[in-house]
Chains A and B, each alone.
Chain A
Amino acid sequence: MRHTDERAIRARNESAWLVPTGQERTNWSLRERMRRFDPDEEVDVVVVGCGAGGGTLTQRLARAGFRVVALEAGPWWDPARDWVSDEAASHKLYWTEPRVISGKDPVALGSNNSGRGVGGSMVHVAGYVPRFHPSDFETYTRDGVGADWPISYEELRPYYEQIEEELPAAGEPWPWGDPHDYPHHPHPLGPNGEVFRRGARALGLRTAVGPVAIPNGRFGHRNHCIYRGFCLQGCKVNAKASPLITHIPDALAHGAEIRPDSMVSEVVVEHGRATGVRYFHGGREHFQRARLVALAAYSIETPRLLLLSATPAHPDGLCNDFGQVGRYVMVQGAPQTAGRFHDEVRMYKAPPPEVTCEEFYETDPSKDYRRGFAIQNVSPLPITYSEHVTAQGHWGEVLREYMRDYVHWAVLGSLCEFLPRVENGVTLAAENDAHGLPVANFSYSEGENDNKLEAAAQAVMEDILRAAGAQEVITIKRYAHLVGGCRMAADERSGVVDRNRRSVAVPNLYVTDGSVMPTQGSANPALTIMALAARCADHLRATARSGLVGEAVRG
């Protein structure tokens, strides 16, 4: 346990007291009392996107006294009325505007990795928040693959610690990477996690419970987790953290404005500086003037927006003079292996990932591949689990027989660090969306190192499940998470933004989402995206204070 001073917790985690008690899940009066800027007013910062990156940045800038407006393409959710405890009816949580996928290994989007609405993808992810390892920041130097980050783990560590407190995260002391502990004790294990730990223990592999962004116990007005297993469908309990209930309410309390249902179509640049963004709201086009523009629309929509913002001076898109926009988009290889047990498991209870093994995270010099993978339990609900069965080619009676056996299966998933490839990325398709804007085409192909990692991860998962007593194992190949597309780099020929997330081409245009990541590690990216946004906010605060002409907002 860290920092248990109550006043410090109240000051830092104010949002936990900003959600209501009782059956309501939304603080309506906070939303009604929200500051509203005049439509013609030039604000200090306009943020595009209200997920992990945009939500965190907006909150910190509001606390620092910036006049900030955040635009979000999707709705402003009320967990009580908008969300359901049901797989099929949770469709609206995902980005389901048209998109095209291509390449040798096309990657499914939507529920797999793309959120929509205030809170972003963190609304429908499992809330798993491991840190990256120090090695993730220098894979090229250490292993000759991927790319080095222009910042180090040490520079990001204080922001990891801040965000872990702000969520707050619960888990066992972490033995891997930079060893650390968590503000809250781990949650009790669900059945799938128990099976995983039993198998790992039999093989002598270390595991740890968590970290999950769910306080252990009632926290402020946020309720205790009820272990219902529907984390991926939006937490109706207000137990799992997402910016919707953490950083956005805090931002409102400090004077930020959130505009939902506002789809940004163009970043406007005049004389080399961004002047604001155009967006659609209520069937009309609007323009928000701002001294600084921060993009946080994630790895598909941020590159798409830069490409849509082409001008005669930048015919290939904004910040794209060196062809870097939309490049190096990454997904983790995420094969999942299911094991059949004689006893009932009923994996659908408790948060879907609960236990992690990072014993295979780092490069093993004895292997013929670089970098590694993490293993976590995952606990698919029936519709998602049916994909595991159909992936074996089963249909008809055999599909039904496997599904009838659902309660006997436990599932492990791995996150494999697939390497960045210049040809994997986002371009504009010939097809237009409802606003007449070309949709994104996301092309993806695996490399040789990726295939080897995936096979190694599958073998370990099969071993663990067999060691736990599985009679049969089946594996589905899939992908998880999205990062890259506007990576940060040391110079404009190898990236879109610099180490402070400022675009190389336009001095008052920043990118503050996961698209800036040069590599992806084998950890779920949400915590790192939030930590990067927090660090960017500190940079903007310092730059504004120093009053440097041509820098940040006061330029």
Chain B
Amino acid sequence: MSRPDTPAATPGGEGRFDGYDVLAQSPFWDPVTAEVVLDRTRRVPALAFFSSAEADVARALLDLMLANHAEPRVPVVEMVDRRLFEGETDGWRYEDMPEDGEAWRRSLRFLDEDARRAFQAGFAHCTLDQQGRIVQGVQDSEEWHGLPGKHVWSLWTRYGCAAFYAHPWAWNEIGFGGPAYPRGYKVLHPGWREPFEVAERDAEDPVPWSERVEQAERAHEVRLGPRR
């Protein structure tokens, strides 16, 4: 896991807010918040919940779902593992799903079984294309290994996105202001910015929004075949 010392790091070097570094604002954060947020960039927690075999499958799954393929990569699997180890759930589970930790273990095992059946290799050793087909199959399924497909999907996306978009590199990528206490905001009009906020690279450069989405969808399809 590379952890760049360079400011304004973004996951995989993606993003349109050139030079925006939310961590440069950390001197203006309260100490409790600063400790929690800076810790995410300083330390990759050791695995405590997943076995190393489970972690391999979880890493492949989460990196695929978040397109977290290039360095610097957000340590999503370690962040999810920490939550599961500490039992930090969302405060509910679906009646037709086990408790979150058990649901994660089972769903990772099922992914591996599907991969071995279809591609004669563990999920983590499949190509991105093969992994993508299996995962798309779960999203499209009514029932998957006795579990409701949409509830498995909800489990994966909730934990995955909560980890990824908690990371300051992701905030740099999307231009989010990050913690704002005690500094706050004084410029509240659409189209205006605080002195420390960075303008997005020309919104039409290289292509406008609609084409950027189409490009992302094409990239997704090339990898996974046509979507539903």
User: Known contacts being A195-B190, A236-B30, is A102 close to B94, with CB within 8 Å?
Assistant: yes
B177 touches A349 (CB 8 A): yes
In the assembled complex, the Cα of A401 lies from the Cα of B207 at a distance in Å of 13
User: Among B14, B96, B165, which residue has its beta carbon within 8 angstroms of that of A383?
Assistant: B165
Q: Mark each residue of chain B from 161 to 186: 1 if its CB lies under 8 Å from any CB of chain A, else 0.
A: 11111100011011111011111111
B interface size (C-beta, 8 A) = 71
B139 at the interface (CB under 8 A from A): yes
User: Known contacts being A96-B90, A110-B90, A382-B176, is A404 close to B16, with CB within 8 Å?
Assistant: yes
A226 touches B64 (CB 8 A): no
Q: Mark each residue of chain A from 345 to 369: 1 if its CB lies under 8 Å from any CB of chain B, else 0.
A: 1101110000000000000000000
User: Known contacts being A226-B183, A344-B200, is A101 close to B170, with CB within 8 Å?
Assistant: no
A85 touches B29 (CB 8 A): yes
A11 at the interface (CB under 8 A from B): no
In the assembled complex, the Cα of A441 lies from the Cα of B162 at a distance in Å of 25
- Chain B residues contacting A442 (CB-CB under 8 Å) are 92
In the assembled complex, the Cα of A49 lies from the Cα of B193 at a distance in Å of 42
Q: Mark each residue of chain B from 46 to 68: 1 if its CB lies under 8 Å from any CB of chain A, else 0.
A: 00000000000000000011110
User: Known contacts being A84-B179, A97-B91, A383-B161, is A346 close to B190, with CB within 8 Å?
Assistant: yes
User: Among B29, B91, B187, B216, which residue has its beta carbon within 8 angstroms of that of A99?
Assistant: B91
A206 at the interface (CB under 8 A from B): no
B93 at the interface (CB under 8 A from A): yes
How many cross-chain pairs have Cβ atoms below 8 Å apart between A and B? 217
A85 touches B94 (CB 8 A): no
A471 touches B210 (CB 8 A): yes
B1 at the interface (CB under 8 A from A): no
A505 at the interface (CB under 8 A from B): no
User: Known contacts being A101-B95, A345-B190, is A396 close to B220, with CB within 8 Å?
Assistant: yes
In the assembled complex, the Cα of A381 lies from the Cα of B66 at a distance in Å of 18
User: Among A80, A393, A399, which residue has its beta carbon within 8 angstroms of that of B139?
Assistant: A393
Quick one: closest B residue to A347, CB to CB? B190
B188 at the interface (CB under 8 A from A): yes
CB distance from B181 to the nearest CB of A (A): 4
B90 touches A227 (CB 8 A): no
- Chain A residues contacting B75 (CB-CB under 8 Å) are none
Quick one: closest B residue to A389, CB to CB? B161
A397 touches B165 (CB 8 A): no
Q: Mark each residue of chain A from 371 to 391: 1 if its CB lies under 8 Å from any CB of chain B, else 0.
A: 000000000011100110010
Q: Which of A184-192, A283-291, A523-531 contacts B (4 or more CB under 8 A)?
A: A184-192
Quick one: closest B residue to A468, CB to CB? B190
User: Known contacts being A96-B89, A227-B185, is A84 close to B95, with CB within 8 Å?
Assistant: no
In the assembled complex, the Cα of A395 lies from the Cα of B62 at a distance in Å of 10
B14 touches A108 (CB 8 A): no
In the assembled complex, the Cα of A82 lies from the Cα of B166 at a distance in Å of 18
In the assembled complex, the Cα of A99 lies from the Cα of B219 at a distance in Å of 40
CB distance from A444 to the nearest CB of B (A): 11
B217 at the interface (CB under 8 A from A): yes
B24 at the interface (CB under 8 A from A): no
- Chain A residues contacting B180 (CB-CB under 8 Å) are 85, 226, 228-230
A191 touches B216 (CB 8 A): no
User: Known contacts being A96-B88, A98-B99, is A191 close to B190, with CB within 8 Å?
Assistant: yes
B66 touches A390 (CB 8 A): no
B166 touches A407 (CB 8 A): no
In the assembled complex, the Cα of A101 lies from the Cα of B96 at a distance in Å of 9
Quick one: closest A residue to B185, CB to CB? A349
CB distance from A197 to the nearest CB of B (A): 11
- Chain A residues contacting B210 (CB-CB under 8 Å) are 471-472
B188 touches A85 (CB 8 A): no
- Chain B residues contacting A397 (CB-CB under 8 Å) are 67, 216-217, 219-220, 223
A110 touches B92 (CB 8 A): yes
Q: Mark each residue of chain B from 7 to 46: 1 if its CB lies under 8 Å from any CB of chain A, else 0.
A: 0000000111000000000000110110011000000000
CB distance from A345 to the nearest CB of B (A): 5
User: Which positions 90-116 of chain B face chain A at CB distance < 8 Å?
Assistant: 90-96, 99
B122 at the interface (CB under 8 A from A): no
User: Among A91, A101, A340, which residue has its beta carbon within 8 angstroms of that of B88?
Assistant: A91
> Which of B36, B189, B200, B219 has its CB near the most chain A CB atoms (within 10 A)?
B189
In the assembled complex, the Cα of A399 lies from the Cα of B177 at a distance in Å of 20
A87 at the interface (CB under 8 A from B): yes
A402 touches B213 (CB 8 A): yes
Q: Mark each residue of chain B from 68 to 90: 1 if its CB lies under 8 Å from any CB of chain A, else 0.
A: 00000000000000000000111
In the assembled complex, the Cα of A95 lies from the Cα of B92 at a distance in Å of 9
B67 touches A226 (CB 8 A): no
B209 touches A99 (CB 8 A): no
B188 touches A188 (CB 8 A): yes
In the assembled complex, the Cα of A190 lies from the Cα of B191 at a distance in Å of 11
B32 touches A84 (CB 8 A): yes
User: Which positions 132-168 of chain B face chain A at CB distance < 8 Å?
Assistant: 132, 135, 139, 157-158, 161-166
- Chain B residues contacting A237 (CB-CB under 8 Å) are 181-182
- Chain A residues contacting B189 (CB-CB under 8 Å) are 191, 194
- Chain A residues contacting B183 (CB-CB under 8 Å) are 226, 228
B3 at the interface (CB under 8 A from A): no
CB distance from B89 to the nearest CB of A (A): 6
- Chain A residues contacting B89 (CB-CB under 8 Å) are 96, 98, 110
> Which of B33, B139, B163, B200 has its CB near the most chain A CB atoms (within 10 A)?
B33
- Chain A residues contacting B158 (CB-CB under 8 Å) are 387
CB distance from A64 to the nearest CB of B (A): 35
CB distance from A251 to the nearest CB of B (A): 27
CB distance from A298 to the nearest CB of B (A): 13
A1 at the interface (CB under 8 A from B): no
B185 touches A382 (CB 8 A): no
CB distance from B166 to the nearest CB of A (A): 4
B91 touches A94 (CB 8 A): yes
A403 at the interface (CB under 8 A from B): yes
User: Known contacts being A100-B93, A110-B90, A403-B174, is A85 close to B191, with CB within 8 Å?
Assistant: no
Sampled A-B contacts (14; CB under 8 Å): A80-B32, A83-B32, A227-B185, A346-B190, A382-B170, A382-B174, A383-B162, A393-B227, A398-B213, A400-B216, A403-B170, A406-B174, A408-B203, A441-B95
| A residues with CB within 8 A of B | 80-89, 91, 94-102, 106, 108-111, 114, 188-191, 194-195, 226-230, 236-237, 340-346, 348-350, 381-383, 386-387, 390, 393, 395-408, 410, 441-442, 471-472
Closest 4 CB pairs of A and B: A226-B184, A110-B91, A228-B180, A88-B166
Contacts A226-B184, A403-B173 supplied; 4 other A-B pairs, CB < 8 Å? A80-B32, A194-B190, A382-B170, A395-B66
